[in-house]
């Protein structure tokens, strides 16, 4: 029989996949003899079984839950639903990877009309008992039965008003009894049934709700952003309640064993006296720093510090702990590896190596490669910021600088982000429902909440700048304005946030490139020692190339030559070339383009100082270049000595129903070989000149795009070789050069063995390969992919994370077939996937020589390539 339920004492840290991270750590801490409120874990397999059976919990699982509960009752000396000493439990989700705030929690479960009396008698505190009961009814209705919290707030506020009370704490036990009565009426009205009086029914419904929450939209979104497979499922933790809200000798808090923003090796945390856990996380009250606890309760503080150190030493990583003090007794509710900024991650990794606690390899494995992105994000222009006076300041919750227009809810923020605006989301406090709006924002400002509030934790994880807990802000979310420092800021106005200092400024302050700390170089150096995969960059200009070199790029894997013509003074020239009706006119237009192109190539070769450079020949999807605006057509007509109507007619004749599958890539060179000639001339002349002038060992790599057939490649290659040889002769040079192809059409993968006969190298263009393998346009897929995520058809965007099952199979096959023909064939990837860590690992595993990605993602790829080696050891 499958074991679906484990008591804490039956598990340990090695059972993470089955028990979830939270459950496995609770089990481990129990083994270590720490003060953990006991409980049991319903496994991730039970969650998967629930979905496999069409959302049904089997009798077998129910029976095991019941047995575990009986065991817990025995252990605690309490009974579920008892009228003297009732057992109360919390229900929390806990997946294999931590997903903070993504799934729902129920506290105080087990309270009923009878149990609340028992609880009141036992604690001698009826006020507290009824307060717990009303919280439970509201939370249960919200999380389990999906009745909105606001329905209950109406009753709550009405009682407060009737009694003339402004603070919740002034409500008496009788007031709370009245509120409980009102809440039960709301429950009945909304659901047509009484609030359940059988705690076992409450328990089962809550466990089912946690299973169900694994598939709520915000969990699906979080998984997509963090590469967490839906097949993992979540475990459910059922844990005896302890109470931090039993008066001034109780409290609750959250602490990190090192500073999660900076990595500083000092315990860092916050707590609230007389509060329940959710109060700290939700940021409704602003908490005290942990150091205050030494004054408030010195023995508890000592005990806490002892356990914090013990846990960090045990797990050899920075821990994020939740604790509760119930009447001066400390309990640890959970521990996990703490989320941290990239800056802190590097600091902690280096410190742990220096402290002799972990090896360099372990340090490399620990760092979330994607998070390096944060370090590479902008700060403010120093001069401008020094001359600016903040209008306010609050907690520096997530580092980085951000400037943008203010929006007051997630939906508006997302819409503005989609319009391409820079957005600052301003909220009273954030909640998990805000996640998409937060993600669309450059910065987040909240009125409430500490450093461990939802906004802070989530923003840090996302690398979005965040300033939290700014109580001076007078916010009106409904009318969309806020006041601060004597200013009134309305929706659409610009503000600037410094998530590193906590300062808030009026207006749009310019930002500058990110700075990188010494730890960064150290970690990158370790990664470079380990990795075998090379990392190149996609760069179209000398500036991009120089930037990429700073980030450690070892070459250029893709220069998109059509991108060299996006600038306003150049675009008319390429349009002229595209719209030419005769070979002579085209050649004349090309003559105008050559100097630009050659100059750019020279600039790139100079910056790259002999590192490999792959130049991809023209691949302009025509719709990006053919003019549509009247003024552009008029200007072009004048320049070409034609009438407006003639140019317009030519543009119309070039119209394609599906430009992405149209007359682009090598098809252009097949119809107009003079284009390939011109580009070859520019590449070769530039390379020979820079080689002669600077002495770099340059071997140009010419790459032909969109090839699907060996003869197609051969046709273009013959033009290239003929021109290149002519240039060499003219310039009296013996320079070597390579001609290769992109592999970005499924047919090219199928026939890679033949294509390899004509190619010196392959570079996988996984943008087009994804488009053509899935059969949906890379420009339009965004319009419908959301529905695919919501319906769990796809878990991630196949244009961001390589579809290893499908597209990956083609890549693997083409690599094998290519190398079967030519064992020395050089293989790379230059689609956007080249900077995605999971794709980097895939590329390592299938034996590519290099990945190529945008300059800012080069460090991510370097780290991911090292992790790929370590993961395969």
Residues 193-232 that bind ligand PEP (CB under 6 A): none
Q: Which is nearer to ligand PEP, 233 or 620 (CB)?
A: 620
Question: Could you give the CA distance from residue 371 to residue 377 in angstroms, rounded to a whole number?
Answer: 11
Q: Which is nearer to Mg ion, 351 or 832 (CB)?
A: 832
Q: How far from the centroid of its chain's Cα atoms is residue 334's Cα?
A: 24
User: Least distance from C-beta 742 to ligand PEP, angstroms?
Assistant: 7
Pick the binder of ligand PEP from 18, 116, 558, 863 (CB under 6 A).
558
Structure tokens at 862: 């370097």
Q: Which is nearer to Mg ion, 134 or 563 (CB)?
A: 563
Question: Could you give the CA distance from residue 280 to residue 214 in angstroms, rounded to a whole number?
Answer: 24
Of 238-246, 491-499, 655-663, 759-767, the window that binds Mg ion (rule: CB under 5 A) is: 759-767
Q: Which is nearer to Mg ion, 744 or 832 (CB)?
A: 744
- By CB under 6 A, is residue 765 in contact with ligand PEP? yes
- By CB under 6 A, is residue 544 in contact with ligand PEP? no
Pick the binder of Mg ion from 768, 803, 832, 841 (CB under 5 A).
768
Is the separation of the CB atoms in 467 and 445 below 8 Å? yes
Is the separation of the CB atoms in 535 and 554 below 8 Å? yes
**Residues near 529 by Cβ (< 8 Å), separated by ≥ 6?**
866
User: Least distance from C-beta 756 to ligand PEP, angstroms?
Assistant: 19
- By CB under 5 A, is residue 540 in contact with Mg ion? no
Residues 787-826 as x/- pattern, contact with ligand PEP by CB under 6 A: ----------------------------------------
Q: Which is nearer to Mg ion, 157 or 624 (CB)?
A: 624
Is the separation of the CB atoms in 680 and 726 below 8 Å? no
User: Least distance from C-beta 838 to Mg ion, angstroms?
Assistant: 21
Total residues binding Mg ion (CB under 5 A)? 3
Of 404-412, 496-504, 582-590, 762-770, the window that binds ligand PEP (rule: CB under 6 A) is: 762-770
Structure tokens at 186: 């709301």
User: Least distance from C-beta 621 to ligand PEP, angstroms?
Assistant: 8
Question: Could you give the CA distance from residue 361 to residue 523 in angstroms, rounded to a whole number?
Answer: 10
Residues 828-857 as x/- pattern, contact with ligand PEP by CB under 6 A: --xx--------------------------
3-state secondary structure (DSSP) of residue 808 = helix
Is the separation of the CB atoms in 39 and 242 below 8 Å? no
- By CB under 6 A, is residue 560 in contact with ligand PEP? yes
* Interaction partner, residue 766 (ligand PEP, Mg ion, none; CB < 5-8 Å by kind): ligand PEP
User: Least distance from C-beta 778 to ligand PEP, angstroms?
Assistant: 8
Q: Which is nearer to Mg ion, 665 or 818 (CB)?
A: 665
Instruction: Name the residue among 154, 111, 164, 162 with its Cα closest to residue 133.
Output: 111
Is the separation of the CB atoms in 600 and 690 below 8 Å? no
Concatenating the DSSP letter of every residue in 668-733 gives HHHH-HHHHHHHHHHHHHHHHHHHHHH------EEEE-S--SHHHHHHHHHHHHHHHHHHHHHTT-
Of 82-90, 246-254, 301-309, 766-774, the window that binds ligand PEP (rule: CB under 6 A) is: 766-774
User: Least distance from C-beta 764 to ligand PEP, angstroms?
Assistant: 7
Pick the binder of ligand PEP from 123, 208, 767, 777 (CB under 6 A).
767
DSSP 8-state assignment for residue 546? H
Q: Which is nearer to Mg ion, 117 or 768 (CB)?
A: 768
Q: Which is nearer to Mg ion, 619 or 685 (CB)?
A: 619
User: Least distance from C-beta 771 to ligand PEP, angstroms?
Assistant: 8
* Interaction partner, residue 461 (Mg ion, ligand PEP, none; CB < 5-8 Å by kind): none
Is the separation of the CB atoms in 610 and 698 below 8 Å? yes
- By CB under 5 A, is residue 765 in contact with Mg ion? yes
Residues 729-758 that bind Mg ion (CB under 5 A): 744
Q: What percent helix, strand, coil does the chain show, rounded to 5? A: 50, 15, 30
User: Least distance from C-beta 666 to Mg ion, angstroms?
Assistant: 11
Q: What is the 3-state secondary structure (H, E, C) of 742-789?
A: EECCHHHHHCHHHHHHHCCEEEECHHHHHHHHHCCCCCCCHHHHHHHH
For the beta carbon of residue 496, count every other beta carbon within 10 angstroms: 27
User: Least distance from C-beta 574 to ligand PEP, angstroms?
Assistant: 15
Question: Could you give the CA distance from residue 455 to residue 283 in angstroms, rounded to a whole number?
Answer: 9
The helix (H) or strand (E) run that includes residue 498 is strand 494-498
Of 169-177, 307-315, 707-715, 765-773, the window that binds ligand PEP (rule: CB under 6 A) is: 765-773
Question: Could you give the CA distance from residue 647 to residue 627 in angstroms, rounded to a whole number?
Answer: 10
DSSP 8-state assignment for residue 249? T
* Interaction partner, residue 66 (ligand PEP, Mg ion, none; CB < 5-8 Å by kind): none
DSSP 8-state assignment for residue 339? P
Question: Could you give the CA distance from residue 783 to residue 87 in angstroms, rounded to a whole number?
Answer: 50
User: Least distance from C-beta 833 to ligand PEP, angstroms?
Assistant: 8
* Interaction partner, residue 501 (Mg ion, ligand PEP, none; CB < 5-8 Å by kind): none
Pick the binder of ligand PEP from 64, 766, 804, 849 (CB under 6 A).
766
Instruction: Name the residue among 307, 269, 306 with its Cα closest to residue 291.
Output: 269
Is the separation of the CB atoms in 866 and 530 below 8 Å? yes
Total residues binding ligand PEP (CB under 6 A)? 10
Is the separation of the CB atoms in 95 and 21 below 8 Å? yes
Is the separation of the CB atoms in 619 and 741 below 8 Å? no
Q: Which is nearer to ligand PEP, 373 or 768 (CB)?
A: 768
Angle at 451 between CA 332 and CA 149, to 5 degrees: 80
- By CB under 6 A, is residue 312 in contact with ligand PEP? no
Q: Which is nearer to ligand PEP, 48 or 767 (CB)?
A: 767
Catalytic residues: 454, 830
* Interaction partner, residue 830 (ligand PEP, Mg ion, none; CB < 5-8 Å by kind): ligand PEP
- By CB under 6 A, is residue 744 in contact with ligand PEP? yes
Residue ranges binding ligand PEP (CB under 6 A): 558, 560, 619, 744, 765-768, 830-831
């Amino acid at each position: 029989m499958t074991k679906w339920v484990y008591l804490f004492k039956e598990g340990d840290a090695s059972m993470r996949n089955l028990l979830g991270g939270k459950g496995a750590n609770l089990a481990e801490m129990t083994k270590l003899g720490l003060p953990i409120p006991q409980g049991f874990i319903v496994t991730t397999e039970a969650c998967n079984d629930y979905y496999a059976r069409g959302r049904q919990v089997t009798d077998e699982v129910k029976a095991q839950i019941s047995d575990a509960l009986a065991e817990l009752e025995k252990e605690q000396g309490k009974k579920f639903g008892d009228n003297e000493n009732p057992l109360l439990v919390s229900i929390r989700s806990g997946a294999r990877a931590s997903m903070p705030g993504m799934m729902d929690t129920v506290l105080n479960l087990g309270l009923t009309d009878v149990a609340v009396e028992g609880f009141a008698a036992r604690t001698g505190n009826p006020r507290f008992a009824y307060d717990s009961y009303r919280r439970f009814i509201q939370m249960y209705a919200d999380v389990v039965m999906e009745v909105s919290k606001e329905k209950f707030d109406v009753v709550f506020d009405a009682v407060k008003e009737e009694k003339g009370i402004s603070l919740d704490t002034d409500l008496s036990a009788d007031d709370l009894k009245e509120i409980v009565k009102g809440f039960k009426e709301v429950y009945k009205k909304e659901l047509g049934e009484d609030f359940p009086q059988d705690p076992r029914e409450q328990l089962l419904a809550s466990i089912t709700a946690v299973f169900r929450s694994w598939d709520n939209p915000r969990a699906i979104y979080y998984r997509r952003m963090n590469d967490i497979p839906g097949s993992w499922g979540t475990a459910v933790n059922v844990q005896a309640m302890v109470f931090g809200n039993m008066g001034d000798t109780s409290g609750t808090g959250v602490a990190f064993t090192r500073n999660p923003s900076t990595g500083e090796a000092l315990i860092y945390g916050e707590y609230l006296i007389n509060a329940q856990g959710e109060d700290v996380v939700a940021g409704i009250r602003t908490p005290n720093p942990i150091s205050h606890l030494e004054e408030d309760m010195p023995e508890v503080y000592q005990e806490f510090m002892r356990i914090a150190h013990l846990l960090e030493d045990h797990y050899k990583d920075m821990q994020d702990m939740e604790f509760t003090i119930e009447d001066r007794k400390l309990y640890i509710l959970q521990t996990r590896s703490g989320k941290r900024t990239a800056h802190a991650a590097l600091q902690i990794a280096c410190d742990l190596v220096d402290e002799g606690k972990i090896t360099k390899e372990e340090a490399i494995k620990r760092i979330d490669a994607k998070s390096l992105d944060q370090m590479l994000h902008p700060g403010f222009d120093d001069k401008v910021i020094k001359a600016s006076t903040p209008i306010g300041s609050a907690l520096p919750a997530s580092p980085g600088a951000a400037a943008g227009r203010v929006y007051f809810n997630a939906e508006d923020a997302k819409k503005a982000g989609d319009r391409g605006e820079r957005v600052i989301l301003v909220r009273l406090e954030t909640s998990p429902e805000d996640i998409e709006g937060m993600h669309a924002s450059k910065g987040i400002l909240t009125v409430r909440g500490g450093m461990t509030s939802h906004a802070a934790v989530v923003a840090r994880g996302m690398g979005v700048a965040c300033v939290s807990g700014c109580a001076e802000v007078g916010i009106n979310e409904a009318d969309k304005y806020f006041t601060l420092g004597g200013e009134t800021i309305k929706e659409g106005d610009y503000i600037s946030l410094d998530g590193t200092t906590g300062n808030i400024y009026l207006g749009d302050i310019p930002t500058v490139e990110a700075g990188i700390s010494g730890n960064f170089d150290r970690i990158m150096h370790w990664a470079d020692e380990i990795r075998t995969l090379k990392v190149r960059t996609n760069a179209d200009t000398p500036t991009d190339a120089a930037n990429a070199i700073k980030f450690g790029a070892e070459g250029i894997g893709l220069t998109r030559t059509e991108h060299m013509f996006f600038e306003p003074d150049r675009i008319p020239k390429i349009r002229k070339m595209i719209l030419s009706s005769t070979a002579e006119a085209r050649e004349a237009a090309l003559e105008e383009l050559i100097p630009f192109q050659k100059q750019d190539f020279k600039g790139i070769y100079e910056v790259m100082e002999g590192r490999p450079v792959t130049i991809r020949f023209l691949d302009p999807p025509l719709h990006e270049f053919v003019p549509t605006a009247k003024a552009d057509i008029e200007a072009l007509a004048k320049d070409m000595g034609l009438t407006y109507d003639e140019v317009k007619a030519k543009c119309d004749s070039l119209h394609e129903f599906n430009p992405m599958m149209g007359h682009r890539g090598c098809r252009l060179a097949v119809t107009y070989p003079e284009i390939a000639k011109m580009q070859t001339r520019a590449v070769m002349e530039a390379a020979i000149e820079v080689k002669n002038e600077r002495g770099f060992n340059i071997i140009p790599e010419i790459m032909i795009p969109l090839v699907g057939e060996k003869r197609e490649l051969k046709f273009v290659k013959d033009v290239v070789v003929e021109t290149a040889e002519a240039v060499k002769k003219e310039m009296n040079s013996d320079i070597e050069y390579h001609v290769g192809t992109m592999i970005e059409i499924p047919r090219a993968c199928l026939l890679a063995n033949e294509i390899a006969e004509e190619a010196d190298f392959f570079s996988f263009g996984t943008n087009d390969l994804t488009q053509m393998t899935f059969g949906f346009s890379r420009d339009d897929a965004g319009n419908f992919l959301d529905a695919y995520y919501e319906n769990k058809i796809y878990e991630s965007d196949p244009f961001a994370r390589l579809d290893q099952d499908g597209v990956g199979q083609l890549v693997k096959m083409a690599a094998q077939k290519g190398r079967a023909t030519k064992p020395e064939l050089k293989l790379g990837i230059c689609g956007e996937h080249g900077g995605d860590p999971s794709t980097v690992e895939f590329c390592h595993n299938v034996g590519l020589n290099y990945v190529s990605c945008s300059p800012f993602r080069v460090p991510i790829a370097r780290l991911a390539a090292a992790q790929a080696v370590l993961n395969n050891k």
